[in-house]
Structure 1
Amino acid sequence: MTLLFLDNLPPQINKGAILRFIIEIGGANRDAIGRIELAGRQATVDVPDTLSGSLVKALDGAQLNHRHIRAWTQAQAGRPSARADEDHFQRLARLLDLEAEAEKAQLLADMQRAGSDETAERTGQTLIQLVIIDEYGGLGGRILVTLAKRSQNQPLPWHRLEVGTPIILTEESSGGDAAWRGVVSQRDRQTIQVALNAWPETETSRPTFRLDVSTDEIARQRQRDALARARSARSDRTAELRRVLLFEQPPLFQKQPDAALTPLDNDLNPPQLEAVRFALAADDVAIIHGPPGTGKTTTVVEVIRQAVQQGQTVLACAPSNLAVDNLAERLAAAGVPLVRLGHPVRVLPELQAYTLDALVEQHDNYRQAKKLRKEAFGLQNQAGKFRRARPERGAKEAMREEARAMLDEARQLEAQAVERVLDGAAVVLSTLTALDSSLLGQRRFDLGVIDEAGQSVEPASWIPLPRVDRLVLAGDHQQLPPTILSQQAQAEGFGVSMLEQLMRRDGAVLARRLDVQYRMHEQIMGFSAAEFYEGTLVAETAVSQHLLADLPGVKRVGLTETAVWFI
């Protein structure tokens, strides 16, 4: 007999349904099927050696309750295979494209429903008849362009273009041919500023522009690039980590975690301290499984601080800016030298001083680069970019060429300043999709950490892998998964995070669970503890009997003295 693996099973599946699936789709005889073990959305089945190949061929990709099932044998799971790598990453890239198509289709449908430009503007996803009133250079070669309505002093209409929204800027007279991608960086009643990766060159005198909400193609391309790098790695540390993450070789751990480890946070409970020791002992990958309210981020911060104390560098990531800021805030309070990557407008005000932009601005090289950029933009304007008067033939291109040379020199000076700032940081923090290779260059880190890893699609979780020697994932695959728009991608398992896959396949080896929660009354906790955590979750004494009536100023009545009400 050999072991058949089935993955991406529907929720609430049972062994009987799996048996029927194997018999009806795989054509196997009922008597030939051995023991079935079910764990979450994965199952293992004992099948005859002679049937294993035909069963994989029939079942892999077949649908069960509208889900595409993944099937493979024990032999395939244990043997290093370049082809298996290619299948895995090609599948992720295809699902990533399906999700991109779904997002584009939704945006296009919204625009088509709007009809005219004026109607489109009333949807809040478009601004029309804009002119550029200011422009200057930002960190990383960003061009910061401020736009306002063509009519002087006219306020912008109500719109949904919040700070951080991906946009497309188009010149209205070009019919959409001249377009630049970017992100909203600032906004007020009369103006909106966008950060672009390229200068919006146009031959039109006093052009007007249109601004539309867009899909985030920059983040998507970074995910595609990460998949390509992971797939093509052959003889480096990335290849080794890939083989562990795809279960082609077992993860390695130090023989004994450091039992004498002295906690830097004296409030850690025993499960948290055990998880810290376990994560630091991992040579490849470790998981901190943190159910709700168990102090997962507190534990992650301790792992990072311990690594820094040992002289290691750390790349700490999460899917959202809020989760990254949560880590940064706690590390900053502990005095850890850190740099927060990403656009400052997406960072909490109290962390602005730790952003790469703020730290780089203090360097002389950056001040010199800023001066060069200002001169370059002056030449761009002289070249007739936004003026009616134009230089003689050939003079315009000469001015633009000189401006480009100045911008190149500014970028080099800026890169030197960035390098010096990053050299002084023990921890670099970023959202997964904001990791910019042009800023980090070839920089590597001893430890990579992904917090809230259960909320990240798998392609995004591969982005930091080529830069780290070891990886710690933290999160809870039993809570909210990534948000997926494409029904097809969802059906094929695109909503299954890297964390969830690892927990399904080898959670007992790779993970340590935190089981003391500090958030809720034990009766509120009871259902989730029994349904998702095998009854192992316990409420800390301080909250286990805590009621609304115990809060200052709250009257003691039936509603406030009862933990759970069913209506």
Structure 2
Amino acid sequence: PPGTGKTTTAAQILRQWLWDSSGEGCKALAAAPSRAAARRVADALPEEERFFLQWRAEDGLWAEHRRRFCWSRLAVATCAGAGHDLFDEGLFRWVLLDEATQATEPEALIPLARCGKSVHHVVLVGDPQQLPPTVLSMAAQRLGLATSLFERLVAEVGPKEVLLLDMQFRMLPALAAFPAAFFYQGLLATGRSEEEPEPLRHHETVNFTGVRGYERSVGTSYDNAAE
């Protein structure tokens, strides 16, 4: 769920893997479907502990990237970036896919294909109640491409293999009550204890009001005057 620290938890899992295998020369791979998501994972890890693939053909730094990757025991990349030839040199014992519910299944299989034969763990981190994979083709949606690997595996193995992060720290209680009840079956608790701001202080609930209006393009964004 939102605000429960999924990326922070993912970073701690990665670091624990490396601590548990200190001196064994093993590698771990963290991947995410978008560059922004991969960057969040990389930023949650000390720079000296990870290699973040941001290579472009024109940057002329192939030798430097190769040196850094060979030195590092933890690599971070987008799902597509995990298919880079650079990673052919490493067999990963651990693979973690963040924002896994936003990746199509073929996309998710790219980093998973980098597992070595001695793979220890594969962890998928995501929330099927948030953004799904972006699939514009209606035909592809009907054929199941919009169902992420995360969702398919959960449906097959059941909840016993799923760990729910059930304490959120982002929203105040009045705001968190709606998603907790309607999307998470009341299992999502709120860890925020500070007093609510004045507009919410005397209300037990938050009302969602529909507004009739029209969006108009303004520069690179949109505006809705009625809202």
Q: Percent identity over the alignment? A: 35
Contact 2:174 2:200 in 1 (8 A): no
Please name the residue that 2:44 is paired with: 330
Please name the residue that 2:70 is paired with: 423
Please name the residue that 1:318 is paired with: 32
Change (3 A) 1:464 1:476: same
Distance 1:325 1:542 in 2: 30
What is the CA distance between 1:560 and its match in structure 2?
Answer: 7.4
Please name the residue that 2:99 is paired with: 452
Whichever structure has more helix as a proportion of its residues is 1
Q: Does 1:539 align with 2:186?
A: no
Distance 1:559 1:514 in 2: 26
What is the CA distance between 1:534 and its match in structure 2?
Answer: 1.8
What is the CA distance between 1:535 and its match in structure 2?
Answer: 0.9
Contact 2:105 2:148 in 1 (8 A): yes
Change (3 A) 1:538 1:455: same
Spell out, residue by residue over 1:136-180, the C-alpha distance to the aligned partner (whole angstroms, 9 max, x if none). xxxxxxxxxxxxxxxxxxxxxxxxxxxxxxxxxxxxxxxxxxxxx
Structure 2 residue corresponding to 1:565, chosen from 207, 223, 226: 207
Distance 2:175 2:136 in 1: 31
Change (3 A) 1:296 1:464: same
3-state DSSP of counterpart to 1:299: helix
Distance 1:340 1:455 in 2: 20
3-state DSSP of counterpart to 2:68: helix
| Amino acid across the alignment from 1:467 | R
| Amino acid across the alignment from 1:472 | V
3-state DSSP of counterpart to 1:462: helix
Please name the residue that 1:301 is paired with: 11
What is the CA distance between 1:508 and its match in structure 2?
Answer: 1.9
What is the CA distance between 1:419 and its match in structure 2?
Answer: 3.7
Structure 2, unaligned runs of 5 or more:
210-227
Contact 2:27 2:90 in 1 (8 A): no
* 1:349-428 map, 5 Å: 361=61, 414=63, 417-428=64-75
Q: TM-score, normalised by structure 2?
A: 0.78
What is the CA distance between 1:565 and its match in structure 2?
Answer: 3.0
Please name the residue that 1:529 is paired with: 180
Q: TM-score, normalised by structure 1?
A: 0.33
Contact 1:520 1:546 in 2 (8 A): no
* 1:216-235 map, 5 Å: none
Spell out, residue by residue over 1:331-354, the C-alpha distance to the aligned partner (whole angstroms, 9 max, x if none). 02xx5521111347xxxxxxxxxx
| Amino acid across the alignment from 2:165 | L
Spell out, residue by residue over 1:312-339, the C-alpha distance to the aligned partner (whole angstroms, 9 max, x if none). 421000001111111111102xx55211
Distance 1:513 1:442 in 2: 35
Spell out, residue by residue over 1:484-533, the C-alpha distance to the aligned partner (whole angstroms, 9 max, x if none). 11111112221110011112222322211000000112222222222222
Distance 2:164 2:207 in 1: 29
Distance 1:532 1:559 in 2: 22
Contact 1:317 1:449 in 2 (8 A): yes
Change (3 A) 1:296 1:307: same
Structure 1 residue corresponding to 2:127, chosen from 466, 476, 481: 476
| Amino acid across the alignment from 2:178 | F
Q: Does 1:465 align with 2:112?
A: yes
Contact 2:173 2:192 in 1 (8 A): no
Whichever structure has more strand as a proportion of its residues is 1
Contact 1:453 1:473 in 2 (8 A): yes
Q: Does 1:494 align with 2:145?
A: yes
* 1:81-100 map, 5 Å: none
Figure out how many residues of one structure are paired with residues of the other and give that number: 199
Q: Does 1:342 align with 2:54?
A: yes
What is the CA distance between 1:559 and its match in structure 2?
Answer: 6.6
Higher Rg of the two aligned structures: 1
Contact 1:455 1:481 in 2 (8 A): yes
Distance 2:168 2:17 in 1: 25
Change (3 A) 1:566 1:422: closer
- Considering Cα pairs closer than 8 Å and 6+ residues apart, tell me whether 1 or 2 has the greater RCO: 2
